[in-house]
Structures are given as C-alpha cells and as structure tokens.
Amino acid sequence: MIKRSQYVGVHRSKAPQENQSPPESRDDISAGTGSGTQRQYSGDLPPGEYCTDSVLPLEAEVQRGRCGRPPVDEARSKDERSREGEPKTRSREADDCSLRGVDRTPAAEKKRELGLTGDLRGRHLNAQVRSSLLETIDQAMQRGKTLESACQVLELNPRSVYRWRSGATSKTRHGGGGGLNRITPLEEKRIVTLARRFPQFRCRRIAYELERKSLVFVGKTKVAEVLKKHGLNHSFEKYRKKPPDIPGEILLHEPWRRNLLWGMDWTYLRIEERFWFLLVVLDWYSRKIVSWGLFPAITKFEVVAVITDAVAIEEIDRLPEHEMKPRVVADHGSANVASYTKKNIEIQGLDLWLSGIGRPTGNARTERVIGTLKREEIKLQECYINEREARLRIGTAIWDYNFRRPNAGNGGFAPNSVHIQGRKILTKRRKEARQQTHNRRRTHWDQVQPC
C-alpha cells in the first residue's frame, strides 16, 4: 500500500521528466478491478510526501524491471498473428501425435464392457479379460495401428501383451520357482498342528519354532497365509508409528561379539500389596538377559550383587588382562551413581557408563527388554501372591525369552543361540537349510506332478 501511494503521488505530480516512472505494465492493470477503482483507491491513500524516502528507489527499481505496455497497434497485431497461427499449430500437433489414427471410443467401450476402469498397468486380470483385450488389440493392428499406440489407449503395458501371447500366464502351476517351491501338505499340516497346540503364538513365533526343531523352514508370511486359510489367524492390530528418536552416541557403536556392552535397568511390580523391583543385566550383542534379581528395594548393594553375578556366569574374571571386558550402561539412579558401585565395578575390570539425564534412548535395548517382560508377564498379573510365585513366574518368562522366543534384532533367532554361536553362523546355517528344503520340495512336486 505504501509503495502504491508513493507511485501514484509521483505519477500525478508534475515532476521533472527524468524522475517520472515508466508507464504501468499490463500486469499492474490486470491486477486491479478497473481504472476508476484504482483512481478511487489511490485518492484515498495518503500523499507521497508522507512516505519514507527508502521506498522511492525501491519502487523505481521494481517498475524499471517490468516490461512497459506495448502500443495498442502493436499488441493488436501480435494478437491477430497468434490467432491466425493457432489452428495451424494445433493441426501440426495432431499430425505429430502417435495416437492420431487410433479411435479411443471403441477401446473405452471395450473396457466398460469388461468392467475395467482406470490404468490397467500392474493389475491382475483373469484369462477371459486378457483374451478379450488381445482381440481388441489384434483388431486395431489389422486396421494398421501399432501395438504401442493400442496399448497406450487401453492403458496397458506392451510387455504384458507379449507375455499373454507367449502363454507364460496360462500355466496352472505358478509361483516361486515355477510352482515347485510350494510348501508340501506335510509342512502345512505341521504348521496347523503347532498353531492349534499353542494358540497364543503368532506367525513369527510359529515359523521360528518349526525352524528351531528342523521341521519346516518357511517364513512368517507363508505361515500367516496358512493360518488364514484354516481360520487360525489373529486379528491385526495396527499401532500408530512413533516418530524416530535418534539415540545417544553409545548406540552408534554396534558390538561385534558378546560381552562388550551390558545394559542394566530395573522395573517395579507388586507382591503381597507391596512394591518390589526387578533388576536385569542385558548383553547388547545377543539381547540375552545375563543375570537378574528380585529385591524389595534397589540400593548400591543390590546393583553390585547383580553385576557380580553376571561376571561369574560369563566368567569375565578368568579373561586375560589384554582382553576387552564389558562396559556397563546404566541411568543416573542413586544406586548407580554411588561411589561404592563405581569402585566395585572397576575392581572387577568393568567400566561404568551413565547415559544422558532424561534420555532413556541411551539405554534403549535394555528398556526394550524391560518392556517385553512387562507386556508378556508382569502386567498380566495384578498382584503376585508371594515372593516364591513371583520368582517362579518371572524366571520362567526370562528363560522363555532367552532360549525360545524369536528376537527381531537377532534376525529371528533366540538370544541364547546368538550368544553362544554368533549371528553369522546361524544365518549361514539357515540359508543352507532353506536351500535343502527347496530341493526337497522340487523333488516332491516333480514326483506328484511331473512336467
């Protein structure tokens, strides 16, 4: 508004010729609602002498960068030349179009008859629809049209048409490995039997249990398909995806073997209407709970006791002096920051590292395991009857987590298997076992349905 008023003030005043701004451009005229309206608005604005001096050079610079209005005759001649050449340009574009000889009406009617709408690329069509589309394409090619133009009108991929004509999609047996890698009836029976025996197991747990017993080597997706086929599938629970939170610098260094990084954390539970605390020590490489303890309170003595128990179980005290020993990751709890705790940990050859204050992601893997124990055992019990029952149930849950439960961070292997053998060896064995299973399936289907 200030720039407009300054410009109008300068334009109306009889200033010297060199200070006058160039005439308004076509854009300025089209931006307003009319010349009379512009004069009315500009008259209501304050005069130009009340505006700041810094606006004058800016307005002159903006107006200088705009194109001036062409004369009336010149503009009219340009418009007439553009109107005269417009039909010629359109006809030339129509001649250059690759679809100039293809009539879109029959193709649209054919798609409407088959109940098809929109783009057909990447869609699964049955044999009857494919044969009808092939007849339409053949009729168009008999009239002198190309395959590419006909497919573009029908919104098809030409490669699909070549595949339909070759008969590759007409085979009754299809799938991975030409249909020879399908699971056998015996494998399907074993999946259903285990699912009915343990109805609480999900598809990932069923796949790992069968693989651990060397019965069936199959992925969780195929297990889900089999369960859905027999009506044994679980309801799908979709959770809101949490925004990513970048952990602290300690997670940037991935341990390459066991007993390099240990995480320590505790959670509370109720026993006989009183609060007790579960303290665990976790190996970050294998996600195995090395040691744990159940205490009515957490002090520096309980922390040192659980760490000492973990050192004795893993035989850290027997390692040579030049060997790397674990670093313990913990939060800033009063029992962890005590000088007694730090001294006893250092005496055993370990190193204590405290994560950031108010940043639980510094000890993310331990927090994740604590959440698993709470969701699968602790929160299922409103209150434990006594200490014996609590130790028995929590010990069973920890044993199942270490030895049987598949862990996504370990590639589906149980933490104890990774802790003993390593992730690389287990992955290699799984690859070899799946290849052997693939060969057995091919032999089976070749004998049942010979090619």
Question: Domain segments of the chain: what residues?
Answer: 1-92, 104-166, 185-238+424-444, 255-405
- Note the pLDDT tens digit of each residue in 181-231: 888 999 999 999 999 999 989 999 999 999 988 899 999 899 999 999 999
Q: Token pair of 30, please? A: 């089209």
**Residue 394 confidence (pLDDT):** 96
- Note the pLDDT tens digit of each residue in 104-157: 667 778 788 888 888 888 787 888 888 888 888 888 888 888 888 888 888 888
In angstroms, the CA 143 to CA 149 distance is 12
* pLDDT interval class at 243 (50, 70, 90): confident
- Note the pLDDT tens digit of each residue in 330-364: 999 999 999 999 999 999 999 999 988 878 888 88
Q: Please name the amino acid found at residue 413.
A: F
Is the dihedral angle over the CA atoms 297, 298, 304, 306 positive or is it negative? Answer: positive
Evaluate whether 419 touches 283 at the Cβ level (below 8 Å). yes
Q: What share of the chain is helix, strand, coil (3-state, %, to 5)?
A: 55, 10, 35
* Radius of gyration of the CA atoms of the chain, in A: 39
In angstroms, the CA 170 to CA 159 distance is 16
Evaluate whether 247 touches 263 at the Cβ level (below 8 Å). no
In angstroms, the CA 223 to CA 190 distance is 11
Domain 255-405 CATH assignment equals 3.20.20.80: no
Please give the angle made by the CA atoms of 158, 161 and 164, to the nearest 5 degrees: 155
Q: Token pair of 359, please? A: 């940043």
**Residue 73 confidence (pLDDT):** 47
